Amino acid sequence: MKIPFSPPYINEDIINEVADSLRSGWITTGPKVKALEAEIKKYSGAQEVLCVNSWTSGAIMMLRWLGIQEGDEVIVPAYTYSATALAVYHAGGTPVMVDTTEDFNISVEGIRKAITSKTKAILPVDIAGFPCDYDEIMELVNSSEVKGLFKASSPVQEKLGRILVLNDAAHSLGATYTDGIKTGSETDVAVFSLHAVKNVTTAEGGAICLNMPAPFDNEALYGELRQMSLNCQTKDAFSKSKAGGWRYDITGFGMKINMADVNAAIGLAQMRIYPELLRERKRVFNVYNDAFSTEGWASVPPAVVKGKESSYHLYALRIKGISEEQRDLIIDEIAKTGVAVNVHFIPMPMLTFFKEKGFKIEDYPQAYNNFKCEISLPIYPQLTQEELDYIIKAVKDAYNTVVK
Confidence of residue 297 (pLDDT cuts 50, 70, 90): very high
- Using DSSP bridges, classify how beta strands 304-305 and 298-299 pair: parallel, antiparallel or unpaired: unpaired
**In the predicted structure, residue 329 carries a pLDDT above the cut 80:** yes
Q: What distance in Å separates the CA atoms of residue 296 and residue 279, rounded to the nearest whole number?
A: 28
Q: What distance in Å separates the CA atoms of residue 346 and residue 359, rounded to the nearest whole number?
A: 14
Highest CATH level, class, for 12-265: alpha beta
Is the C-alpha dihedral spanning 17, 172, 47, 188 positive or negative? negative
pLDDT in tens, 46-95: 999 999 999 999 999 999 999 999 999 999 999 999 999 999 999 999 99
The pLDDT value given to residue 359: 98
- Give the number of other CB atoms < 10 A from CB of residue 213: 11
The pLDDT value given to residue 330: 98
Q: What distance in Å separates the CA atoms of residue 217 and residue 368, rounded to the nearest whole number?
A: 41
Segment 29-48 shows an average pLDDT of: 97
List, by residue number, the catalytic residues.
198
DSSP three-state, residue 131: coil
**In the predicted structure, residue 242 carries a pLDDT above the cut 80:** no
- Report the chain's terminal Cα–Cα distance, integer Å: 25
The pLDDT value given to residue 246: 83
pLDDT in tens, 251-288: 999 999 999 999 999 999 999 999 999 999 999 999 99
Q: Answer yes or no: are the C-beta atoms of 151 and 104 closer than 8 Å.
A: no
**In the predicted structure, residue 404 carries a pLDDT above the cut 80:** no
The pLDDT value given to residue 323: 98
Report the interhelical angle of 324-335 vs 365-372 (nearest 10°): 30
DSSP string, 74-108: EEEESSS-THHHHHHHHHT-EEEEE-B-TTSSBPH
Instruction: List Cβ neighbours of 128 (8 Å cut-off, separation of 6 or more).
Output: 104, 171, 301, 310, 313, 314, 315, 316, 344, 376
Q: Which candidate, 76, 139, 84, places its Cα nearest to that of 110?
A: 76
Maximum distance among all Cα pairs of the chain, rounded to whole angstroms: 75
Kindly report the average pLDDT of the chain as a whole number.
Answer: 97
Q: What distance in Å separates the CA atoms of residue 159 and residue 234, rounded to the nearest whole number?
A: 25
- In the chain, domain spans: 12-265, 274-403
User: Is the pTM value of this prediction over 0.95?
Assistant: yes
Instruction: List Cβ neighbours of 367 (8 Å cut-off, separation of 6 or more).
Output: 77, 78, 79, 99, 100, 347, 349, 361
What's the CATH number of domain 274-403, 3.30.420.130, 3.30.365.10, 3.40.50.2300, 3.90.1150.10? Answer: 3.90.1150.10
Reported in sequence order, the residue ranges of 159-288 that DSSP labels E, i.e. its strands, are: 164-168, 189-193, 206-210
Confidence of residue 244 (pLDDT cuts 50, 70, 90): confident
pLDDT in tens, 99-130: 999 999 999 999 999 999 999 999 999 999 99
